[in-house]
Amino acid sequence: MNPNEIIHGLTDLVSVMPVSFWAIGMSRVSCV
């Protein structure tokens, strides 16, 4: 695995994390 693939994977992870946090927050709010 070359460094470019690792960096690309990290940027994908960082861009997806806020969306997952938002989804978890919305699901918790709808459950309450």
In the numeric block, which tokens belong to residue 26? Answer: 């919305």
The answer on pLDDT for 1 being more than 80 is no
pLDDT digits (tens, 9 = 90+) for 14-30: 999 999 999 999 888 88
Phi, psi angle pair for 15, to nearest 5°: -75, -25
Residue written as tokens 């927050």?
Answer: 25
Q: Residue 16, exposed/middle/buried by CB under 10 A (0-12, 13-18, 19+)?
A: exposed
Question: How far, rounded to the nearest angstrom, does the alpha carbon of residue 19 sit from its chain's CA centroid?
Answer: 6
Q: Please, which pLDDT band fits residue 11 given cuts at 50, 70 and 90?
A: very high
